[in-house]
Structure 1
Amino acid sequence: MTKEVIIEKIDNFLIDEFEVESDDISPDADLKETLDLDSLDFVDLVVSVEANFGVKLVGEDFVNVKVLQDFYDLIERKLN
């Protein structure tokens, strides 16, 4: 799966499942603040990643994830 496809899939489920405005989605968007994701949303995010990409995430995976680009990179690493 290419990086572009990963980014597109993530952006789409953020818009569809988390009701994030497409204008708010950018690589430097802070996951917690800009995207307004709370702790319950992160649980849903883990479930969405599993459903969309077939990879499991754990809390430690998010230690260095601050902005959306970090999240894209995390999913790409998990897939490779």
Structure 2
Amino acid sequence: MRHPAIFPIHHDDPRPDHEQKQAALGYLNQAWAEARLDGVDGDCLAQASLFAALAELVSTYGEDAVAKFTEGFAARVRNGEFSLALARQ
């Protein structure tokens, strides 16, 4: 199930949002791979990434908006939305 973003995306890049998100994911995957090669633990990377992402959202949209956005995360995790095996099917 796809969940629409509750945040408006503001940017000067003329590319559609989905293309920018794909590009961003590519950058994150590269940084992740580099960190793993340098010996950084995957769990540490995941926690730092979540913190950085949430901190960016809070600084942009405020705590209340981000709290509302994250309310459904537990159910989405339980439903397998973030499980790689399911995402590849």
Q: Same fold (TM over 0.5)?
A: no
- Shorter-chain TM-score bucket reads 0.3 to 0.5
TM-score norm. by structure 2 comes to 0.36
**Could you say which structure has the larger radius of gyration?**
2
TM-score norm. by structure 1 comes to 0.39
